[in-house]
Amino acid sequence: MAGVDEAGRGAWAGPVVAAAVILKPEAIPSGINDSKKLSRDAREKLYDLIIASAAAVGIGEATVEEIDGANILAATFIAMARAVAALAVKPCHVLVDGNQPPPLDAPLTCVVKGDGRSLSIAAASIIAKVHRDRVMAQFDQFAPGYGWAKNAGYGTADHQRALDMVGVTPFHRKSFAPIHKLMTQESEATY
């Protein structure tokens, strides 16, 4: 059985990332919990332990272009399907965090607040969050000033200040209201 969760749905910049994890019952690392309830250090340590001990781990991303081209829910489903497809072991069943079933090539059950109710979903939440944080830290090097190494592309005051001063980057989700509004204001100001 695989657990699936995502990270980054509400961010203003960067991809949405999903992970699928099949845990070995005899080798489940201690301390697995909803990634939002863990410190950054705890997530980093558990990430390594999960990668080392799980039967399979798959990671999938949906790009900013895919998010803007469809919508965030559709892009999340794309990332989840990619994560399940990336598993080295085909799951016989998938537990998905949330209440909407993505189109997967496996039987699935949606589990509301699953990252607090299922160890495999919680493990997937850790993998997705750490992977996405690392991606955003890399993007921070190409677009300094937005604070992505700390805020992971979410709408913080530092991120908003940088948008106001520097503008929108190719890493931003142009379909998201704060970014779209800023771009609309910029285009109106040029006329």
Opening angle at CA 87, ends 25 and 29, nearest 5: 30
CA distances from 113 to 5, 7, 11, 180 (A): 10, 14, 19, 30
Can you give the pTM of this predicted structure?
A: 0.95
pLDDT of residue 186: 60
pLDDT digits (tens, 9 = 90+) for 65-115: 999 999 999 999 999 999 999 999 999 999 999 999 999 989 999 999 999
Query: What does the longest C-alpha to C-alpha distance in the chain come to?
Result: 65
| 3-state SS class at 170 | coil
In this structure, CATH architecture of domain 2-141: 2-Layer Sandwich (3.30)
pLDDT digits (tens, 9 = 90+) for 161-184: 999 999 999 999 999 998 998 888
What region, left, alpha or beta, does residue 167 occupy, with left being phi > 0 and alpha being psi -120 to 50 degrees? left
Question: Would you kindly state where each structural domain of the chain is located, as residue ranges?
Answer: 2-141
